Structures are given as structure tokens and as C-alpha cells.
Amino acid sequence: MVSDPYLGKYTTCVSARSTDREILKKAQDGGIATTIMVYALEEGIIDGAIVAGEGDLPWKPGPFVAMSRKDILKAQRAKYNISPQISWLKEATRAFGLDSVGVTGVCCQIQAVRKAQLYPINMRDVPGKISLAVGLFCMENFLYDSIQAIVEDHTNQSLSSVKKMRIGKGKFQVYTERGNVASTPLKPIHKYGQPGCYVCLDYVSNLADISTGSVGSPDGWSTVFVRTRAGNDIWSKAVETGLFETKPIEEVKPGLELVMKLAKVKLDGNRKTLEERRNFGVNKALRDPYA
């Protein structure tokens, strides 16, 4: 078990991609989360998965309980605006009657899942029914209106014409149905990020059973951290079954060094922000004891 202050605890870290051609065709990168959830569902490890599907507006995510391969595939591709997955935990276990639930989410959502398991306030019967948590790397997330502004004002594309969004190599990129690719530098769009993202102290979903993201792996592949016993059981069986191609993370470029670099950028920067806010609060209280 490796324990790192920036990357969390993990037993295995590899670069991987799905061998399922249907999944890869629409995958954001290596199709890891989709393939794992489909495998867990078909093997009876979970009864259903809470995933981010399409909402009522273009690229607005809508969480739902996926109970088939077809349902899970509807949730492919990153949407970069938050989907309220956690609000469906009770729905999945009570309304749908699931005894074993899988959930995907970004760092803060996986933290919420673990908190619900430790302190199940208003979450009675939920903790024991979460069987698989797959986390996604996340630097920052956006409100829907912000995504619309980024796409339409910064890349000059209509949100309804976009078929894929991608953040990488310092750019926010959009791919349209007509084959156009437009991009904008990341720095000007940081102002659109949600405030909570700039005090979050996790980049690689280190509380998930399995966490994954494109950073560190070649195009079309994903970096995968296997973190828990449950995650290792599922991952090792899926690999043995031939569901994934894998390469040691040490043998690919840019490799773990880039994951570490970005994790440090986020965590060190956000720690500084938290400290500044803490000091501001203390100083304000000293000036005005009734503040």
C-alpha cells in the first residue's frame, strides 16, 4: 500500500483503457468508469449505479439510477458541471429498493459518500448498501450557466452543437458535431469555477475504491488508482477477464509525475487559500468581537 499526501492511499496505479469497442467509441478517455460499472452490474456486484446522464438542457447533467448496460452507457463523457449524484443515494436504496449500489462522482462527491457512511444522518440504511465508489480526477467544476458562457463566449460555439468537451494541456476544448475543434486557455476561465473547488483538498478522488482520470496517460488511455480491498477485488477480476489493457504507469508518458504536479498545484494552492481565509476571519474577530 502506497500512502502519499497528494495522491492518497493506493495499492495499484496503472495506465489503462477498456477493450470494449462500443464503450471506447464514445469514451471520454479510456472508458474506465463506464466499463467498471457495467462489469460490476453484470456480475451482480451492484444492483444499479448512480450516474450522470443527460438533463433537460444540452450538456446539463441529470443523475439517475442506471440498471442496465444501456443505461450506464447513456452517462458517458465528462460534462464539467456538477451533477447532484449524492441526492440519489436514498432514492436508489428506498424507491428503487437496491441492496447494492455503485456511485460515480468527483472528489467532493466521493467525500460526501464516505461521510454518509460514517455519519448516516438522514441516510438510514444507506451506508451498508454502497458497494462501489468510482471517483474522477477533478481540478475544478462549473455551474451550468458558466459552462454555457465558456463554450459560447470563449470558444464561440453553440452549446447545442457540442459533442464532446475536454480539459487538457492548459486548454478547454470543445468538439462539435460538424467536426470543428475550438479551444480557450484555462487561465481566463478559472473565474467561472465554483468557490468550493478552490478550498477542496483532493485532486484524485483519494477516498474512492477506484479513481481515474486522463492526466498522466497517453491520449485514449486513463490513469487508474486502485485504493481499497473492494476496488482491488473488482479491478483484478475485470483485468483477468480481459476487459482492460493495462501498462505500468512508469512506462507511459507523461506518467505519474504530471498527476503529482497538478495535485500539488491544487492542494498547495487551496491550503494557502484556506489559511488566508482563516487568518482573515481571526483578524476580523480581533478587530470586531461582535462580527
The full set of domain ranges for the chain reads 2-141+195-279, 143-193
Task: Round the average pLDDT of the chain to a whole number and report it.
Answer: 93
CATH fit for domain 143-193, picks 3.30.450.20, 3.10.450.750, 3.30.930.10, 3.40.50.920: 3.10.450.750
DSSP sequence for 270-291: HHHHHHHHHHHHHHHHHH-TT-
DSSP-derived letter for residue 265 is H
| pTM for this entry | 0.93
**pLDDT tens digits for range 20-51:** 999 999 999 999 999 999 999 999 999 999 99
**Cell numbers at 45, concatenated:** 456486484
**pLDDT tens digits for range 205-255:** 999 999 999 999 999 999 999 999 999 999 999 999 999 999 999 999 999
C-alpha 11/C-alpha 206 separation (Å) is 12
pLDDT at position 122, please? 83
Whether residue 290 has pLDDT greater than 60: no
Distance from the first to the final alpha carbon of the chain = 47
CATH topology of domain 2-141+195-279: Aspartate Aminotransferase; domain 2 (3.40.640)
